[in-house]
């Protein structure tokens, strides 16, 4: 493994010493300023009209995004959407083709990675196999000749915060080598190596993707709690919408290098701006039906063939201008109920459908339905005892349906919901 170590003595004299270390998969920046002046300045991040191309291949198109100081922002999207490239441009590991990236109020396009005051954790942990946990975490601090007492303090504090040391349980992993650790423990060491750096911005590029499902759930909570303790800006990349929804204070949804929507997890779920966001956020994904919006006096109905739904009168104003036109109807699986077990307070619209598949999940029943050639999925009350082949009476919660323009793929009621502060009902 090739390694590059650069020691920089510059800027504000002795207290500006920084060390940038990189190998084939990871980059780490260690900054002495926090020891001398009490820490880094405000760590907001701004992408301003950012474009990125590799040759003739456009990866990022006109990215404009402001990330607040101490925010936990998650980039999420399918493989190849540009989320890791966005992170690597911020770290200085990829050049910006056009536009500007700012950390605080400083444009960093031409600032070397070692001078950006960021720390990055990658999918590959790249721990030194011959070093102990302590030595892996202390490596960068030793390069910059940090006093041993300070190294001990930082490493031990980080190890305790990550559960690598638990005195009450007699656990101390600092003397172990990576081969003696589980995948989850190795992931914690990689995060700890970034923590001891005390950066202004943490960058995490799919750090949990090598873990099994149980460890991913545990590690999600640990990283979220770590953010709360450190009160530092976190920018996290994942293809997993569950990780994004459970960890981020805000989420930036990307597709094909274009920002689709930036909002809180609940807002993305309740008020998706377009079909891509509606289908990407939520599991199972939203059901979509091609139809026509029909006006009958003051009432509006979506005629989608076998599935026809009356529009909630509270939403009618948002859709009336589209009457007589083609639309795409969106219904989330959790808004399709067994008629026998309706939640209180919803506005049900009764239908019937045939049961194709039943998945018993314990806390719910996922039922695959079919009506008139239209297939769709529901998440139902665990008391639902439907069997394959049954005709099931169902109810759609019309409070929560969505309509999209089939041409633009944009939501027809996104702005209406924003203006009226409308949220999904249970």
pTM for the whole structure:
0.83
Percentage of the chain lying above the pLDDT 70 cut: 88
Q: What is the pLDDT of residues 394-425, one digit of tens each?
A: 999 998 999 999 999 999 988 877 776 655 44
Could you tell me which of 25, 82, 89 has the C-alpha nearest to residue 57?
82
Q: What is the pLDDT of residues 72-122, one digit of tens each?
A: 999 999 999 999 999 999 999 999 999 999 999 999 999 998 789 898 888
Distance CA 220, CA 243 (A): 7
178-190: average pLDDT: 89
If DSSP codes are grouped into helix, strand and coil, which group holds residue 400? helix
Domains of the chain and CATH, by start: 4-263 (3.40.50.300), 283-420 (2.40.50.140)
For residue 333, give Cα distances in angstroms to 11, 269, 401, 405.
57, 12, 11, 21
Could you tell me which of 276, 254, 251 has the C-alpha nearest to residue 264?
251
Q: What is the pLDDT of residues 227-264, one digit of tens each?
A: 998 899 999 999 999 999 999 999 999 999 999 999 99
Could you tell me which of 253, 256, 272 has the C-alpha nearest to residue 411?
272
């Amino acid at each position: 493994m090739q390694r590059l170590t650069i020691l920089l003595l510059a800027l504000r004299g002795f207290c500006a010493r920084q060390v940038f270390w990189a190998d084939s998969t990871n980059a780490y920046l260690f900054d002495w300023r926090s020891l001398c002046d009490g820490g880094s300045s405000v760590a907001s991040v701004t992408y301003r009209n950012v474009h990125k191309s590799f040759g003739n291949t456009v990866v990022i198109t006109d990215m404009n995004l402001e990330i607040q100081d101490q925010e936990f922002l998650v980039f999420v999207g399918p493989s190849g959407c540009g989320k890791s490239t966005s992170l690597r441009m911020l770290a200085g590991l990829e050049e910006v083709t056009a536009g500007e990236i700012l950390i605080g109020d400083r444009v960093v396009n031409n600032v070397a990675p070692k001078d950006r005051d960021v720390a990055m954790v990658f999918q590959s942990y790249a721990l030194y196999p011959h070093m102990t946990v302590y030595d892996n975490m202390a490596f960068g601090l030793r390069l910059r000749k940090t006093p041993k007492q300070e190294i001990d303090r930082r490493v031990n504090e980080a190890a305790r915060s990550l559960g690598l040391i638990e005195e009450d349980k007699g656990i101390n992993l600092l003397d172990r080598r990576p081969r003696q650790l589980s995948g989850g423990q190795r992931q914690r060491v990689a995060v700890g190596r970034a923590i001891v750096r005390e950066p202004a911005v943490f960058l995490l590029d799919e750090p949990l993707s090598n873990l099994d499902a149980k460890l991913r759930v545990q590690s999600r909570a640990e990283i979220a709690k770590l953010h709360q303790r450190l009160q530092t800006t976190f920018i996290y990349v994942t293809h997993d919408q569950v990780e994004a929804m459970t960890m981020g204070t805000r989420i930036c949804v990307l597709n094909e290098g274009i920002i689709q929507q930036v909002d809180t997890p609940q807002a993305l779920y309740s008020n998706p701006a377009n079909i891509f966001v509606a289908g990407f956020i939520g599991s199972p994904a939203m059901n979509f039906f091609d139809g026509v919006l029909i006006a009958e006096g003051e009432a509006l109905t979506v005629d989608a063939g076998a599935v026809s739904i009356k529009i909630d009168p509270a939403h009618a104003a948002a859709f009336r201008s589209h009457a007589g036109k083609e639309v795409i109807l969106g219904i989330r699986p959790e808004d399709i109920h067994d008629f026998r077990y309706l939640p209180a307070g919803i506005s049900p619209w009764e239908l019937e459908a045939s049961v194709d598949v039943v998945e018993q999940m314990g806390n719910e029943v996922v039922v695959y339905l079919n009506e008139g050639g239209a297939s769709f999925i529901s998440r139902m009350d665990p008391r639902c005892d439907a069997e394959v082949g049954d005709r099931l009476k169902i109810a759609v919660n019309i409070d929560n349906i969505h309509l999209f323009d089939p041409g633009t793929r944009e939501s027809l009621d996104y702005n209406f919901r924003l203006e009226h502060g409308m949220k999904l009902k249970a």
